[in-house]
């Protein structure tokens, strides 16, 4: 693709506000639960917030409603333009990692919207986390626009705009309790249908204890793990998950061990062994997958974790399932 795109119609500028309506808040809630996952989109293009003039700043964001709304609701009273890139309904950081919030789309969107003819300056303020997909010097070369990386969080923008510089704190990502908690509904919604089926099968095959054990192991990984992340010992997510899963399994070990007072000792031991073999690897597996949602784990480290812990998880789980099957057969044959 080369050459200039000539447009004879005036580029469309939509208008927006800093207020969030009730239906937009409902949309955010649904997005958090993963309902209509890829449908929370804003039309890409140029938006006017307030009454911008050619000297007004231009902010760039993704076409995910949570991203766009976080931006516009953070800057009430700032007359500006908002350039929304087509990231297929994905947030800035994830889209930048995939390259959809990227140099190519940015340069393309500048050209489609005719931005150079609308503003007198050639400066774009991007969220810092967009830098993973955008090469500032490439953008300058290809569009003439200078990329300025604003703070990580839109909520710091009013402060940033006073001096056009970010404090060290504004440049750091964190992973606060609230930031971790908002992540689990989407995971919960994803596994809940499977969990119901698995628990039902276990209930029929082995009884209420096994069904509750499955639910406990999964919920420990999805709900407790994100909350307890910084407090669980060790650095690896898998080992943290094994510890959490082990603690979760303890009451089940005791309950299973005590089951059937008159039974032989070895039967008590096998029953007690099953939950400690099956449950921790389930929790650890879910915990390991949480690395994909965090703001700090490196691919190299996660790959190393998988290499070390995946065999342990697989063997423990398989052995535990074998024990469960044996126990079920024994029970059905009248032991």
Partner 1 sequence: MVTMFDSYQSNTLHYDPEKCINCGMCSTVCPHAVFAPGDKVAKLVDPISCMECGACQMNCPTGAITVESGVGCAYAMFYAAITGKEEPTCDTGGDPCC
* Nearer to partner 1 among residue 114 and residue 301 (C-beta): 301
Distances from the Cα of 128 to the Cα of 103, 133, 152, 247, angstroms: 14, 10, 5, 39
For residue 155, the minimal CB distance to partner 1 (Å) is: 16
* Nearer to partner 1 among residue 12 and residue 171 (C-beta): 171
Sign of CA dihedral 166, 169, 173, 179: negative
For residue 263, the minimal CB distance to partner 1 (Å) is: 37
Tokens of 94: 């994830």
For residue 313, the minimal CB distance to partner 1 (Å) is: 10
Q: Which DSSP string corresponds to 181-232?
A: HTTHHHHHHHHHHHHHHHHHHHHHHH-HHHHHHHHHHHHIIIIIHHHHGGGS
Rounded to an integer, what distance in angstroms lies between the CA atom of residue 95 and that of residue 109?
15
For residue 67, the minimal CB distance to partner 1 (Å) is: 12
For residue 285, the minimal CB distance to partner 1 (Å) is: 8
For residue 212, the minimal CB distance to partner 1 (Å) is: 26
Tokens of 124: 């774009």
Residues of this chain that bind partner 1 (CB under 8 A) = 37-38, 88-90, 94, 96-98, 100, 128-129, 131-137, 149, 152, 166, 168, 171-173, 234-236, 239, 288-289, 291-293, 295-308, 310
Rounded to an integer, what distance in angstroms lies between the CA atom of residue 84 and that of residue 64?
9
* Nearer to partner 1 among residue 14 and residue 235 (C-beta): 235
For residue 55, the minimal CB distance to partner 1 (Å) is: 24
Tokens of 112: 């489609």
Torsion angle of C-alpha atoms 324, 257, 331, 220, degrees rounded to 10: -40
* Nearer to partner 1 among residue 133 and residue 275 (C-beta): 133
Taking every pair of Cα atoms in the chain, the longest distance, rounded to a whole number of angstroms, is 89
Given a contact cutoff of 8 angstroms between Cβ atoms, the answer to whether 62 and 52 are in contact is: no
* Nearer to partner 1 among residue 184 and residue 252 (C-beta): 184
* Nearer to partner 1 among residue 306 and residue 323 (C-beta): 306
Rounded to an integer, what distance in angstroms lies between the CA atom of residue 189 and that of residue 29?
13
* Nearer to partner 1 among residue 52 and residue 221 (C-beta): 221
* Nearer to partner 1 among residue 88 and residue 268 (C-beta): 88
Rounded to an integer, what distance in angstroms lies between the CA atom of residue 10 and that of residue 232?
57
For residue 193, the minimal CB distance to partner 1 (Å) is: 17
């Amino acid at each position: 693709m080369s050459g200039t795109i000539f447009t004879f119609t005036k580029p469309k500028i939509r208008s927006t506000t800093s207020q969030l309506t009730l239906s937009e808040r409902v949309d955010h809630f649904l997005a958090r639960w993963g309902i209509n996952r890829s449908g929370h989109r804003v039309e890409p293009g140029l938006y006017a917030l307030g009454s911008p003039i050619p000297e007004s700043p231009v902010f760039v964001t993704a076409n995910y409603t949570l991203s766009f709304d976080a931006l516009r609701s953070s800057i009430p009273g700032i007359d500006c333009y908002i350039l929304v890139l087509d990231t297929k309904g994905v947030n800035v950081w994830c889209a930048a990692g995939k390259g959809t919030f990227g140099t190519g789309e940015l340069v393309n969107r500048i050209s489609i919207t005719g931005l150079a003819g609308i503003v007198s300056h050639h400066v774009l303020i991007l969220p810092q986390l967009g830098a993973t997909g955008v090469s500032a010097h490439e953008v300058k070369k290809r569009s003439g626009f200078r990329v300025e990386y604003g703070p990580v969080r839109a909520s710091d923008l009013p402060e940033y705009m006073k001096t056009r510089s970010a404090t060290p704190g504004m440049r750091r990502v964190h992973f606060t309790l609230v930031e971790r908690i908002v992540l689990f509904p989407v995971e919960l919604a994803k596994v809940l249908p499977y969990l119901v089926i698995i628990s039902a099968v276990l209930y029929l095959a082995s009884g209420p204890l096994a069904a509750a054990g499955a639910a406990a192991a999964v919920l420990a990984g999805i709900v407790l793990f994100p909350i307890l992340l910084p407090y669980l010992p060790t650095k690896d997510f898998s080992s943290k998950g094994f510890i959490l899963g082990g603690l979760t399994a303890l009451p089940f070990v005791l309950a299973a061990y005590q089951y059937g007072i008159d039974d032989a000792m070895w039967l008590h031991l096998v029953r007690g062994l099953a939950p400690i073999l099956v449950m921790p690897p389930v929790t650890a597996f879910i915990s390991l997958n949480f690395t994909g949602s965090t703001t700090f784990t490196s691919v190299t480290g996660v790959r190393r974790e998988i290499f070390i812990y995946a065999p342990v998880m697989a063997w423990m789980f398989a052995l535990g399932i074998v024990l469960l099957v044996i126990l079920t057969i024994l029970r059905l044959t009248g032991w």
